[in-house]
């Protein structure tokens, strides 16, 4: 199943590209030239999340942003499990297909562990990382565990599938004073039906189900990526990834890190402060 939606060129002025991964047809964009940055989104977003940052960086960087299967304009393939490990495998296939070398990984939310899993398998080709409002280890905080269990329950799964709960009540509700109605529709219109939403519906359960992968990352990231230049970008008003609970361990994971605190930003930092993030990336990696 592919999504019948064409983004507005005024909002998403990029050429859509397609890659036939082992899981199905994947949508991505590849803009600009220079040092490559691989943008990995979280849930329930898609590559549209990074449009403003890419718009500011593509004159100096090669910006590659992918939609995982089940997200954005990518296929909803039959038999796909929508696990974090599967998403990382698909993104890794794209990285190898494009021949990315000495590239920077940017990951927000689930994009952090997905991008990190891609990077640990290709550590010699990773130049650095940009990580924001994410984690790289199994969660031990009760709010996240509770969120996973509640959102994975049958009543809440029905709300996600039938009423697009994650997009409406978590994404758009947070951004209601930040993005336009047309931009909000770009998040809605790529998840137009219950069948199309199976990918985002699976993600809350992955907070607990992806524990084996996250345990592996807790070991592999410090060992293989811990010395890479890293920019930690944090929305300080994010209630899901509270800075006091997550930033100290992030700092300890990377020996060569800088921190950009965004005092007024919540969870979806590329929407809240794209200019500050783009400026910080340029300073860190050029």
Catalytic residue positions? 109, 238, 267
Helix axes 111-120, 84-98, angle to 10 degrees: 50
The residue among 114, 94, 97 whose CA lies nearest residue 106 is 114
Q: How far is CA 239 from each of CA 46, 106, 125, 242, 264, rounded to the nearest angstrom?
A: 21, 21, 34, 5, 12
**Cα separation of 273 and 88, whole Å?**
26
DSSP-based three-state secondary structure for 256:
coil
For residue 185, how many other CB atoms are within 10 A of its CB?
15
The residue among 115, 149, 119, 118 whose CA lies nearest residue 134 is 115
Cβ proximity of 224 and 250 under 8 Å: no
**Cα separation of 250 and 59, whole Å?**
30
């Amino acid at each position: 199943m592919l999504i019948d939606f064409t983004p507005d060129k005024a909002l998403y002025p990029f050429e859509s590209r397609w890659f036939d991964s082992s899981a199905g047809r994947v949508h991505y964009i590849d803009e600009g030239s220079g040092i490559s940055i691989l943008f990995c989104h979280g849930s329930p977003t898609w590559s549209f999340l990074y449009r403003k940052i890419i718009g500011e960086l593509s004159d100096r960087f090669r910006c590659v942003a992918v939609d995982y299967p089940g997200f954005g304009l990518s296929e909803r393939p039959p038999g796909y499990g929508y696990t974090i490990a599967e998403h990382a495998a698909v993104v890794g296939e794209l990285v190898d297909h494009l021949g990315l070398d000495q590239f920077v990984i940017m990951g927000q939310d689930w994009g952090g562990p997905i991008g990190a899993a891609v990077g640990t398998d290709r550590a010699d080709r990773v130049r650095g990382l940009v990580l924001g409002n994410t984690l790289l280890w199994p969660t031990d905080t009760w709010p996240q565990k509770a969120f996973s269990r509640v959102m994975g329950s049958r009543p809440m799964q029905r709300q996600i599938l039938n009423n697009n709960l994650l997009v409406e009540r978590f994404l758009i509700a947070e951004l209601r004073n930040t993005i336009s109605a047309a931009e909000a529709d770009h998040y809605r219109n790529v998840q137009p039906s219950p069948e199309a939403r199976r990918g985002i519906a699976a993600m809350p359960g992955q907070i607990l189900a992806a524990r084996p992968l996250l345990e592996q990352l807790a070991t592999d990231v410090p060992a293989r990526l811990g010395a890479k230049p890293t920019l930690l970008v944090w929305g300080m008003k994010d209630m899901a990834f509270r800075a006091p609970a997550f930033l100290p361990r992030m700092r300890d994971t990377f020996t060569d890190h800088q921190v950009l605190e965004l005092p007024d930003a919540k969870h979806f930092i590329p929407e809240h402060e794209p200019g500050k993030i783009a400026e910080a990336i340029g300073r860190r990696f050029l």
